[in-house]
Amino acid sequence: MTTLDTLSHWRLDRDPDGLAWLTFDRAGSAVNALSADTMAELSVVLDALDADPPKGLIIQSGKATGFIVGADVNEFATLDTPEQARGLVSRGWNLMNRLAGVRYPTLALIQGHCLGGGLELALACRYRLVADQPGASLALPEVMLGIFPGWGGMLRLPQVIGAPAALDMMLTGRGADARRAASLGLVDARVPPRLLLAAARQTVLSRKPARRARGLGGLLNRWPFKAIVANRARKQIAAKDPLGHYPAAPAIVEIWEKHGGNALKAPDLIDRIISSGTARNLLRVFRLQERLKANGKQPGVAPARHVHVVGAGVMGGDIAAWCALKGMTVTLQDQEMSRIAPAIKRAAELYARRLKDPRLARAAFDRLVPDPAGGGVPLADVIIEAISEQPDAKRALYQSLEPRMKPDALLATNTSSLSLETLREGLARPDRLVGIHFFNPVAKMPLVEVVHADGGDPAIEARACAFVGQIDKLALPVKSAPGFLVNAVLAPYMLQAMRSVDDGVAPETVDAAMVAFGMPMGPLELADTVGLDIARDAGAQLADGAAPPRCLADRLARNELGKKSGKGFYTWRDGKPVKQRDPAAAPAGLAQRLIQPLIDATRQRVSSGIVADADLADAGVIFGTGFAPFTGGPLHYEDGSTQQHRSTAARAE
Whether pTM exceeds 0.85: yes
Active-site annotation holder among 41, 142, 257, 461: 142
DSSP assignment string, 175-223: -B-HHHHHHHTSSSEEE-GGGHHHHHHHHHHH-PPPP---HHHHHTTST
Q: Is residue 507 located within the same domain as residue 454?
A: no
Q: How many CA atoms lie within 13 A of 594 on its CB side?
A: 33
Question: b/e for 611-635, b at 16 or more Cβ within 10 A?
Answer: beebbbbbbbbbbbbebbbbbbbbb
The whole-angstrom separation of Cα 232 and Cα 588 is 33
Structurally, the chain folds into a number of domains equal to 3
72 and 118, same structural domain?
yes
Enclosing domain of residue 507? 486-644
In sequence order, the β-bridge partners of residue 437 are 449
| Mean per-residue pLDDT pooled into runs of 10, the chain (653 residues) | 87 95 96 96 96 97 94 84 90 97 97 96 98 92 94 96 95 94 96 96 94 80 87 92 90 95 94 88 94 93 96 95 97 95 96 90 96 96 94 94 95 91 91 93 95 89 96 96 92 93 95 91 92 81 76 94 93 91 86 95 96 96 94 91 49 55
Same domain, 497 and 638: yes
pLDDT at position 652: 54
Do the domain assignments include residue 638?
A: yes
514 in the same domain as 614:
yes
| Annotation marks residue 389 as catalytic | no
Residues 600 and 619 in one domain: yes
Q: What SS3 class is residue 299?
A: coil
Same domain, 240 and 331: no
What CATH number is attached to the domain comprising 117? 3.90.226.10
Q: Provide the β-strand partners of residue 112.
A: 66
Q: Are 239 and 138 part of one and the same domain?
A: yes
* 305-353 tens-digit pLDDT: 999 999 999 999 999 999 999 999 999 999 999 999 999 999 999 999 9
Looking at the structure, tell me whether residues 619 and 530 fall in a common domain: yes
pLDDT of residue 544: 65
Using the 3D structure, point to which of 453, 480, 507 is the last residue of a domain.
480
Q: Detail the DSSP E strand segments found in 316-386.
A: 329-333, 368-370, 382-385
To the nearest 10°, report the CA torsion of 400, 401, 407, 408. -150
Residue whose C-alpha is closest to residue 298's, from 413, 446, 453, 461: 461
* pLDDT the model gives residue 36: 95
Kindly state whether residues 185 and 258 are assigned to the same domain: yes
Q: Which of 617, 315, 603, 293 is nearest to 478 (CA)?
A: 617
Number of Cα atoms under 13 Å in the Cβ half of residue 329: 9
| Residue 333 DSSP label | E
Say if 284 falls within a structural domain.
no
| Domain-located, residue 108 | yes
- Domain end point (choices 431, 464, 480): 480
Transcribe 612-631 into DSSP letters: S-HHHHHHHHHHHH---GGG
Calculate the CA 400 to chain-centre distance.
Answer: 37
Domain of 472, CATH number, reads: 3.40.50.720
Residues 111 and 177 in one domain: yes
Q: Give the pLDDT confidence score for residue 643 in this predicted structure.
A: 41
Question: What is the SS3 string spanning 489-533?
Answer: HHHHHHHHHHHHHHCCCCHHHHHHHHHHHCCCCCHHHHHHHHCHH
Give the per-residue pLDDT at 642. 39
- Look at residues 480, 506, 521 and tell me which one is the last residue of a structural domain: 480
Q: Does 1 map to a domain?
A: no
Evaluate whether residue 359 is within a structural domain: yes
| 287 domain residue, yes or no | no
Query: Side by side, which strands form the sheet with 329-333?
Result: 368-370, 329-333, 306-310, 382-385, 410-413, 433-437, 447-452, 474-479
Catalytic position from the list 41, 75, 83, 120: 120
- Bridge-based pairing of strands 10-14 and 571-573 is unpaired
- Reply yes or no on whether 638 is catalytic: no
Residues 466 and 569 in one domain: no
The answer to whether residue 650 is domain-embedded is no
Q: What CATH number did the domain enclosing 587 receive? A: 1.10.1040.50
Same structural domain for residues 181 and 242? yes
Q: Is 651 among the domain residues?
A: no
